[in-house]
A and B are shown apart, each in its own frame.
Chain A
Amino acid sequence: MTSTMTDILLLTFGSFGILIGLTFLGEVLRAREEPGFVNPVLDTYMTRVQSWWGMVAFVGFALILGRIGVMVLFAFASFAALREFLTLTTKAQADHLSLTLGFFAVLPLQYVFVGLGWDGLYAIFIPVYAFLLLPIVSALRGNPDRFLMRVAETQWALMIAVFCVSHVPALMNLDIAGYGDRSLLLVAFLVMVVQFGDLLEYFFGRRIGKTKIAPGLSPKTWEGVLCGVGSAMLVGALLNWITPFGVFGAMAMAGVASLVGMFGSLVVASIKRDRGVKDWSHLIPGQGGFVDQLDSVIFAAPIFYHLTKYFYT
């Protein structure tokens, strides 16, 4: 067994250990409830913990399968996210072909390019080629009604759900001196620090949060965000042994990723508010949709990727 594989197993079972603790905590609280009384906060918490079990299992299994596993997992996440996003965007029948191409050509091609490691192409495929070519396909159908809205929202959907999400598996392509095939672990590092940061931001925001960052948009508070980012940095430092960053580098990278992710989820909340929906979909019990769950990872991934590339390769 390679050391990478040992580390993956360690991380997966470590996460399972945390989940056992969280599940146990929930069950204890439940057992202490008055009979016949249902605490909605606790119910939400338990549903979320159950979804977390599923997610850790999926990500852990994908990492154990290696490169292909991670590619396939995130390609499916992209598909689900794109479906959620495009369900809410402005579109007309004239866009049917370009949207179909988005799902069945742009999305798979982006992941093929990532899989082949063509970093010159997957960095520009959606921002340049999809950006220019899909509106042409729409325009050829000759319906100018709300055209700019239609093409702009479609491009946003592709950037968020495909381009950004694909930068998580793209981390495996980074060729870091002395790090070898361990770049797989960067995927685990990014996902873990960002998600832990979110979880603790939520927790501290509820506990000690006072000053709302964007009132009327999101319940996020400055206190919660500070604690969340701080926790993410701590987790990053603890996980520095799986990264090529060193202790302080890992803290800094974790902090940046977590911070960008938190503000990213404000952007995603704005889109939801604009469309008058609470969640992107219903696919992850207790969490909403894939975009709800991944919003911070989505924003953090390309920035984390490029910072790593700039400073460490």
Chain B
Amino acid sequence: MSANPSDPSDIIALPLSPGGGAFFFSNALPFAKVGFMKFLRQFAARIVGQSIRIFARAITAVRADWKGIEPVPRQRVYFANHTSNADMPMIWSVLPPSMRRTVRPVAAADYWLKNKLRAFVGPEVFNCVLVDRRPEVKDKPMDKIIAALDEGSSLIIFPEGNRNMTDDPLLPFKAGLYNMGVARPEVDLVPTWVANLTEIMPKGEIIPLPLICTVTFGEPIHVRDGESKDDFLKRASDALLDQRPEIRT
């Protein structure tokens, strides 16, 4: 764990009821039935995942621009700009299958456990690492994130902490990205820019506009020896801004 014990408010987003996930399967069920139910749920999760991917492709023709990295399975933390709830599914959709299976978006538990459908889609379709940043909760978000990294998963995180509703291209980053980089320095931190989603689905609009969405992956960065938190976060933010596609208007 990092030298800087993560301040809960510093990381991404929110709550998991203790032991979340297990409540889907009652212990009273005989084992075989549990196994079958689990298989069915996994099957359903795959179908839903494919449908989301096909839908994203049909509407936005979403594609990846591998500017700084190759699409190869390697442990990475993709840190992305966050303007819409569709950001994460877009990044997830453009990853090739082998990478999609090992990537886990870090997401707010309060959002993804709000109802049964989301509780299925978030943890089971996207295999989210659900984090709860309420101060009173015992399992700290950074512990869960590090645990996921130690299992070998790649992560998708949104270091701005919240959806960016301002006219600025990025909000100031929270410390979470720095803490991850310090705790697991060997993991590549990949700046990932999701373009056009603000136009596709501006806040308060109901119908998405079918414009082309591009996800650009830049060159990985790492925390340098002796680099301060603020310096690193500034560098990470600049690296992310560099991935914006150039379109003059």
Chain A positions within 8 Å of B, measured between CB atoms, are 79-80, 83-84, 86-91, 93, 96, 99-100, 103-104, 274-277, 281-283
Q: Are A275 and B209 also in contact (CB < 8 A) when A93-B202, A96-B202, A283-B61 are?
A: no
Q: Look across to chain A and name the residue whose beta carbon is closest to the beta carbon of B198.
A: A93
A104 (CB) vs chain B CBs: closest residue: B207
**Alpha-carbon gap, A89 to B248, bound state (A):** 9
Determine how close the nearest CB of chain B comes to the CB of A164; give it in whole angstroms.
19
B binding-site residues for A, Cβ under 8 Å:
61, 63, 196, 199, 202, 205, 207, 209-212, 246-249
Q: Chain B residue with minimal CB distance to A90?
A: B249
Q: Which residues of B contact A103 (CB under 8 A)?
A: 209-210
Given contacts A83-B212, A87-B212, A100-B207, 11 further A-B contacts (CB under 8 A): A80-B61, A83-B210, A83-B211, A84-B212, A86-B211, A87-B211, A91-B199, A103-B209, A274-B248, A276-B247, A282-B63
Residues of B within 8 A of A99 (CB): 209
Residue of chain A at shortest CB distance from B212 = A87
Docked complex Cα distance between A104 and B249 (Å) = 25
CB-CB under 8 A from B212, the residues of chain A are: 83-84, 87, 281
Question: Which chain B positions have C-beta within 8 A of A79?
Answer: 210
- Flag if B205 contacts A93 (CB, 8 Å): yes
Q: Return chain B residues, CB-CB under 8 Å to A88.
A: 247
Q: Which residues of A contact B210 (CB under 8 A)?
A: 79, 83, 103
Q: A83-B210, A277-B247 are in contact. Are A96 and B63 (CB under 8 A)?
A: no
Looking at the assembled complex, report how far the CB atom of B186 sits from the nearest CB atom of chain A, in whole angstroms.
33
Cβ–Cβ < 8 Å partners of A277 in chain B: 247
Complexed CA–CA distance, A282 and B60 (Å): 12
In the complex, chain B residues whose CB is within 8 Å of the CB of A84: 212
Check A83–B249 contact: CB distance below 8 A. no
Give 27 pairs: A residue, B residue, CB < 8 Å, sorted on A: A83-B61, A83-B210, A83-B211, A84-B212, A86-B211, A87-B211, A87-B212, A89-B249, A90-B249, A91-B199, A93-B202, A96-B202, A96-B205, A99-B209, A100-B207, A100-B209, A103-B209, A103-B210, A104-B207, A275-B247, A275-B248, A275-B249, A276-B246, A276-B247, A276-B248, A277-B247, A281-B212
Complex Cα distance, B199 from A90, in Å, reads 11
CB neighbours (8 Å) of B199 from chain A are 91
